[in-house]
């Protein structure tokens, strides 16, 4: 028994050793193959990634406390401010050439407000650059240089085909160390950040630091799949959480910059939010996901396409809408003028409508654009009733927030106003509120504010 056990153990060990030798050799070949891939990609891509140096002229006020005492009559007064040259550093990717004009894609925050822009190639050549166009909504910009010399052009990949776990290289000029290459993987896709809902991001653990902004994130085919943009860090240095704009989100921007100097975004025209449990319960939308419409802009594609306050948008242009950020990115990905299908839930029923998207101008027009009804409504829960000391018969719906610049705001409606009736009908719940709001282009709104009953008339 013991002899058999020992013999079996030796046989097993010899068998494992026999298999281990070729596996080890194979592993070594794999490592060398990966190393050779890194070498080739670095050699191919380094020439298309440039350093972008900028100068911003800042007016800095100067004050001489003794000037009053020592300035002689007739001498000119010193200026109140003196120009100060603030230098900046970033990276860029050479993406296109048309004739003698070469275009470099970078981040908007790298060149925003710059009086001087210089592009430095990895081979030592330097060129004065001009800003072609900038897009603060996606943090992209395009600058151009003029040259008859041969200049390498980046190969753009398909960021939609990128998988979590894929090897990537980040190439740029972190902290002024030009032509730096770092390696990592795609840590996540579809990342979103607060205040930025026009794009999602590729997350990577490839080291990214200040100066990498605008540089390339490339796959092992040497294709640019992202533009490195920012990092998440408590210290300001790299901790392995970096983000890049997917190159598919930048392709149309490149063409728009070249053809007209700016990027036109599509506009639907809704004021929306995510579906909460309380909202879902009140509206009969349990187990549903989508973007909940609070307000519709007057004259917008949404209003013309019969999208109403209280609707839950669940699909658009064939894409599933999980929340408000999904809807923002889907609209931003479409061309203005596109006629697109929209699926929504209204009163428990699935409806299909078609809207023709317009050009987004809301940032320019601001308060000139009106919305209907101009405020959000929320149910009066037990907690709210206790906090506001409301009696049981005060009402079941109140105003959550009023849109600045709207008719509702101009009339003096406020957050916390309890909605008692619309067009003479007592508002039973949130679902009933939206049914009444959408029943007429003119509504008579009766509210209670600190035990006072007030009436307002709103028109679309």
Residues that are catalytic: 109, 139, 213
Q: H or E segment at 397?
A: strand 397-402
* Partners of 397 in the β-ladder: 379, 419
- Chain mean position to CA 92: 19
What is the β-pairing status of strands 196-204 and 397-402? unpaired
CB atoms within 10 A of CB 366: 10
Assess contact for 48 and 94: CB atoms under 8 A: yes
Assess contact for 312 and 291: CB atoms under 8 A: yes
Q: Which of 403, 154, 337, 395 is nearest to 254 (CA)?
A: 154
Output the CA angle 286-434-401, nearest 5 degrees. 90
The span from the CA of 244 to the CA of 227, in Å, is 5
Q: Which of 268, 274, 363 is nearest to 322 (CA)?
A: 274
Which residues are within 8 A (CB) of 222 and not within 5 positions of it... i.e. 6 or more apart?
A: 40, 41, 44, 45, 155
DSSP-H helix ranges across 46-153: 67-70, 108-111
Based on its alpha-carbon atoms, the radius of gyration of the chain, rounded to whole angstroms, reads 30
Q: Which of 182, 144, 187 is nearest to 165 (CA)?
A: 187
Which bin fits 380, alpha (ψ -120 to 50), beta or left (φ > 0)? beta
DSSP state for residue 290 in the 8-state scheme: S
């Amino acid at each position: 028994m013991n002899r058999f056990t020992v013999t079996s153990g030796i046989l097993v060990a010899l068998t494992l050793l026999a298999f281990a030798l070729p596996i080890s050799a194979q592993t070594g070949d794999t490592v060398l193959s990966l190393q050779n891939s890194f070498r080739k990609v670095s050699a191919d891509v380094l020439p298309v990634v440039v350093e972008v140096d900028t100068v911003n002229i800042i007016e800095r006020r100067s004050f001489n406390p003794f000037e009053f005492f020592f300035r002689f009559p007739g001498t000119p007064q010193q200026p109140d401010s003196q120009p100060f040259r603030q230098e900046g550093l970033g990276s860029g990717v050479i993406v296109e050439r048309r004739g003698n004009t070469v275009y470099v894609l970078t981040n908007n925050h790298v060149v925003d407000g710059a009086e001087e822009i210089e592009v430095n190639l990895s081979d030592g050549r330097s060129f004065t650059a001009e800003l072609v166009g900038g897009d603060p909504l996606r943090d992209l910009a395009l600058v151009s240089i003029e040259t008859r010399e041969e200049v390498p052009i980046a190969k753009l990949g398909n960021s939609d085909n990128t998988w979590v776990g894929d090897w990537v290289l980040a190439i740029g000029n972190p902290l002024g160390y030009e032509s730096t290459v770092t390696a990592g993987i795609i840590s996540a896709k579809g990342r979103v950040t607060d205040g930025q809902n026009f794009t999602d991001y590729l997350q990577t653990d490839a080291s990214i630091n200040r100066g990498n902004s605008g540089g390339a994130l490339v796959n092992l085919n040497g294709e640019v799949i992202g533009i490195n943009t920012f990092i998440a860090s408590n210290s300001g240095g790299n901790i392995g959480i970096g983000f890049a704009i997917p190159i598919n989100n930048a392709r149309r921007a490149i063409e728009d910059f070249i053809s007209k100097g700016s990027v036109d975004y599509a506009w639907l025209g809704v004021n929306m939010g995510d579906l909460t449990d309380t909202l879902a319960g009140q509206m009969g939308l349990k187990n549903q996901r989508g973007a909940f419409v609070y307000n519709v802009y007057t004259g917008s594609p949404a209003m013309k396409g019969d999208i109403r306050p209280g609707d839950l948008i669940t699909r658009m242009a064939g894409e599933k809408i999980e929340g408000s950020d999904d809807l923002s990115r889907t609209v931003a990905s479409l061309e203005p003028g596109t006629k697109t299908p929209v699926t929504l839930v209204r009163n428990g029923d699935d409806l299909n409508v078609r809207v023709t998207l317009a050009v987004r101008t809301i940032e320019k027009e601001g308060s000139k654009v009106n919305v209907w009804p101009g405020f959000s409504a929320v149910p009066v829960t037990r907690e709210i009733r206790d906090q506001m000391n409301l009696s049981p018969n005060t009402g079941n719906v109140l105003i959550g927030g009023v849109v600045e610049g709207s008719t509702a705001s101009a009339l003096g409606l406020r957050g916390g106003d309890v909605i008692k009736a619309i067009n003479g009908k007592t508002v039973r719940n949130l679902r009933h509120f939206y049914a009444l709001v959408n029943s007429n282009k003119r509504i008579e709104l009766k509210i209670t504010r600190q035990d006072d009953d007030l009436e307002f008339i709103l028109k679309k």
